[in-house]
Structure 1
Amino acid sequence: MTASILRLDGVGKHYKLGGMAPYQTLRDSVAGFFSRKGADEADAQEKGKGFWALRNVSFELKEGEVLGIVGRNGAGKSTLLKLLSRITTPDEGEIRVRGRIGSLLEVGTGFHPELTGRENIYMNGVLLGMTHREVGRKFDEIVAFSGVEEFLDTPVKRYSSGMRVRLGFAVAAHLDPEILVIDEVLAVGDAEFQRKCLGRMNTVASEGRTVLFVSHQMEAIQSLCTRAIWLESGQMKLDGPASEVVSSYLTSTAQATVSGIGSREDRSGKGNLHITDLTIGDDAGRPPSTGRPATIVFSITAKEPVQVQEKLVARFSIRDNMDRIVALLTNESPGQDLVFDGSSGEARCTIPKLALMSGEYTADVSLWSNGYLEDKVNRALGFTVMAGDYFAHKTYQIGSFHVDQDWSSNC
């Protein structure tokens, strides 16, 4: 049976609201020492005025597990990683760790601008917990991974932000701890660098080390992690297989964001033309289904009646359950004009044969008039595509959508 390498029991972290505590004189401190009971009561009262960034968090990790942590901004993800990295201490509960923890919380932290890249590799490596000998042994690998060989003896202050990030990640990624803590490192760098980072983390995971990984990129969580934890408002909402947790989290996010579009306030644009309702379904009013016709209807009203006929552009961007845009529907693509010349009306998009696979989707919508953005709402609509046969016979449910195709042979 694989041994537990990390265990949290009822861990919580409390932060006070308001300004800093007033300056205390030596006399105040001495008096406080002899009235500790009163001070403890005051502290308890102060905790009521603050907030719990984390509360009642309990889980354990086995050797070689790769755990993803998901949640909205402010859910407590970074606070949890700071506790595990011993940057801060818990206010309740207990954390038990067996082995060394290495953290990639802020890539490039500790770089000295006046020192060269070579000198910063050694200094940063030591700051992250490696010995000077370990850094020397891995120096060539770090340099090759970073891609800054030509600038190795140049002061870091002359590096671009991208070069700093690459060098910082290269150093941190070559740590050899028993537990590796990673916080959103894929949010930086270009696409090629992000793929390189992901590959390196896959290597770390395959070597049997325990990894905790925080990211808003759900695809990366599913790719790297076997298990995930969903934090919400500082508490654990779900702990289970990564695919199940990610699916539940994204469904919840869509439901929390999507509401009646007419009353949504998180919108942008000039605002004279307003999308008051948005629907997608088949001709019988049923949910859209793979392989069947579907119709999208924009209901539009004008704050002030339009005096001159306006040419409209409507856009309907479809996102899958991984929050990736998989299709953009717009009257610009077929070159078809939409016109509006009153105080209310509709814009319709008819799909003869829906190619999307069955599943959960959301849509971003926008409306443009004579080249100007009138109204835009992200995650304006959540909808389910029902399973159906795109082709008249056997249909494979693989991928994101079906493609019309024609096969022949000449043997």
Structure 2
Amino acid sequence: MSNVVVSVENLSKSYRLGQIGTGTFSHDLAVWWAKMRGRPNPLLKIGQVDHGNRDGEELMALRDVSFKVLQGEVLGIIGKNGAGKSTLLKILSRVTAPTSGKVKVKGRIASLLEVGTGFHPELTGRENIYLNGAILGMTKQEVTRKFDEIVDFAEVEKFIDTPVKRYSSGMYVRLAFAVAAHLDPEILLVDEVLAVGDAEFQKKCLGKMGDISQTGRTVFFVSHNMSSILRLSRQVLLINKGTIENIGQPERVVNYYLRSGAASLAHREWLNSKEAPGNDAIRIRSVRVVNEQMQTVETTDIRQKTGIEIVFDQQNATVPIVPVISLYNDEGHHVFTAIDTSSKWDKPCQVGQYKCIAWIPGNLLNEGRLTVSVALNTFSSQTAIRHAVVQDVVVFQVIDPLEGGSAKGRFTRKWGGAVSPLLDWSINQESEEIP
């Protein structure tokens, strides 16, 4: 008997691009009549350009996608924004229909696709839990048996009888994930919405998805966090411009993805400023891992300091920014986040291109592969405005050559922990006698 629970064959999805209505029937009619007569849009303001009729143009969100997923498997789905990842999950969850191709699914599907979907805003958290259970085909008694687990996991006990429209985005996602994960679906689909939650809740969700797969249920997991993908997935699917570019063993596919468009995993550059991550104020132009000689390095000695270099364009001299780096290890653990606390960032930089380097001291990081995310933010005491963020932008490996001088001393085996600091120790003899 086959244990394939999801089979996708030659799946394609296209969207037709058309004109947006003007808002009134009379104006729509005037635009249509002008177009039928070959005249320009009569509602255009002076200086505006009529780009013509776009009716009939199609956007291929997915093109000829085929793959199979086995029972109990966790499939990580990665790719750039707009690659087609969310469209694939929407088709699998039957939110939208494919243009062509077949999808065969065995079992009930629960999905967490976007913040704001799946719940009725006017209903309370309690009512939405029972509503979602009914949609999945569960009886009221079955949902009741799971109710306390859901509320406890979501940490919303005080607000369970409050309409969800009054929930914060974090509360909403916590409850939505708890409902999807605890109502015993055979297949769980999770999009990048977990990024809304805090780090502790994300860790709890990843653990729950791992537990779900251990019980023989299947998980589809879309994420831009490569550490989480590597930690959780048994197979990774890379989508690029609507097609499958790579599929297979997680580390191989993730390495392929991170290396694509870059000569080195430790260096990422955007030559075209318009395509560089950021906004009208700030653009990140390059990020790389460097040694003390300012050479790009993919591997660093555990005893030597390592630099994370960020080159950015300051396009608006009124916006003060602060550079931020975050490191994650292969187990998905957040090693640390650091910002430059120097007072020089209190005032905006003049317009121009700048380079900043964060130096990580030697004998701090443990052995293994580290993934780096960077950001340029404006901070106040309580809030942070993100101008430019790049997740998993560069990767480097930390090794211990076992030549002495590291925290392990003469010990040669690898030991656990996200960090391996070389500490100052002291010992003093308190007495010549043992009391």
TM range (shorter): 0.5 to 0.7
- Structure 1 residues 400 and 126: alpha-carbon distance in aligned structure 2, compared to 1, 3 A threshold: same
CA distance in 2, matches of 1:299, 1:100: 46
Task: State the shift of 1:82 in Å.
Answer: 1.0
- Structure 1 residues 269 and 166: alpha-carbon distance in aligned structure 2, compared to 1, 3 A threshold: closer
Q: Deviations over 1:11-62 (max 9, x none)?
A: 11111122279x9xxxxxxxxxxxxxxxxxxxxxx99831211112111111
2:109 corresponds to which letter in structure 1? I
Question: Who is 1:4 aligned against?
Answer: 4
Question: Who is 2:150 aligned against?
Answer: 142
Q: TM-score when scaled to structure 1?
A: 0.67
Q: Which runs of 5+ in 2 are unaligned?
A: 26-53, 315-320, 345-351, 377-386, 405-409
Preserved CA contact (<8 Å) 2:289 2:296: no
Does residue 1:403 correspond to 2:403, yes or no? no
Task: State the shift of 1:361 in Å.
Answer: 6.3
- Residue 19 of structure 1: SS of its match in structure 2? coil
- Structure 1 residues 60 and 326: alpha-carbon distance in aligned structure 2, compared to 1, 3 A threshold: same
Preserved CA contact (<8 Å) 1:117 1:153: yes
- Structure 1 residues 358 and 142: alpha-carbon distance in aligned structure 2, compared to 1, 3 A threshold: closer
Q: Deviations over 1:231-280 (max 9, x none)?
A: 11111111112232223323337669822789796578989xx9999883
CA distance in 2, matches of 1:240, 1:147: 36
CA distance in 1, matches of 2:154, 2:103: 34
2:73 corresponds to which letter in structure 1? E
Preserved CA contact (<8 Å) 1:261 1:277: no
Question: Who is 1:258 aligned against?
Answer: 268
Q: Which runs of 5+ in 1 are unaligned?
A: 24-45, 304-312, 336-342, 367-375
Question: Who is 2:234 aligned against?
Answer: 226
Task: State the shift of 1:319 in Å.
Answer: 4.9
Match of 2:108 among 89, 100, 106: 100
Write the mapping of 1:103-252 to structure 2, written as runs, cut at 5 A.
Answer: 103-106=111-114, 109-252=117-260
1:120 corresponds to which letter in structure 2? N
Does residue 1:389 correspond to 2:407, yes or no? no
Task: State the shift of 1:69 in Å.
Answer: 0.7
Does residue 1:290 correspond to 2:298, yes or no? no
2:422 corresponds to which letter in structure 1? D
Preserved CA contact (<8 Å) 1:289 1:358: no
Does residue 1:280 correspond to 2:290, yes or no? yes
- Structure 1 residues 251 and 146: alpha-carbon distance in aligned structure 2, compared to 1, 3 A threshold: same
Greater mean deviation of Cα atoms: 109-118 or 201-210: 109-118
Preserved CA contact (<8 Å) 1:290 1:355: no
- Residue 94 of structure 1: SS of its match in structure 2? strand
CA distance in 2, matches of 1:282, 1:166: 44
Task: State the shift of 1:207 in Å.
Answer: 0.9
Preserved CA contact (<8 Å) 1:283 1:294: no
Q: Deviations over 1:375-395 (max 9, x none)?
A: x98779968568562643665
CA distance in 2, matches of 1:4, 1:160: 38
CA distance in 2, matches of 1:345, 1:212: 40
Question: Who is 1:55 aligned against?
Answer: 63
CA distance in 1, matches of 2:172, 2:278: 36
Preserved CA contact (<8 Å) 2:268 2:286: no
Preserved CA contact (<8 Å) 2:291 2:307: yes
CA distance in 2, matches of 1:165, 1:286: 39
- Residue 62 of structure 2: SS of its match in structure 1? strand
Greater mean deviation of Cα atoms: 103-112 or 317-326: 317-326
Q: Deviations over 1:110-163 (max 9, x none)?
A: 534444333332223223443334323323332333333333334444444443
Q: Deviations over 1:143-193 (max 9, x none)?
A: 333333333334444444443333333322222222222222422233333
Preserved CA contact (<8 Å) 1:289 1:354: no
Question: Who is 1:67 aligned against?
Answer: 75
Preserved CA contact (<8 Å) 1:290 1:358: no
Greater mean deviation of Cα atoms: 255-264 or 135-144: 255-264
Task: State the shift of 1:230 in Å.
Answer: 0.8
Preserved CA contact (<8 Å) 1:65 1:210: yes
CA distance in 1, matches of 2:310, 2:185: 57
- Residue 87 of structure 2: SS of its match in structure 1? helix
Does residue 1:90 correspond to 2:98, yes or no? yes
1:7 corresponds to which letter in structure 2? S
CA distance in 1, matches of 2:217, 2:287: 51
Cα RMSD (Å): 5.1
- Residue 176 of structure 1: SS of its match in structure 2? coil
Task: State the shift of 1:360 in Å.
Answer: 7.2
1:198 corresponds to which letter in structure 2? L
Structure with greater Cα Rg: 1
Q: Deviations over 1:334-363 (max 9, x none)?
A: x9xxxxxxx999999998957665757668
Preserved CA contact (<8 Å) 1:128 1:172: no
- Structure 1 residues 228 and 407: alpha-carbon distance in aligned structure 2, compared to 1, 3 A threshold: same
- Structure 1 residues 195 and 394: alpha-carbon distance in aligned structure 2, compared to 1, 3 A threshold: closer
1:245 corresponds to which letter in structure 2? V
Q: TM-score when scaled to structure 2?
A: 0.64
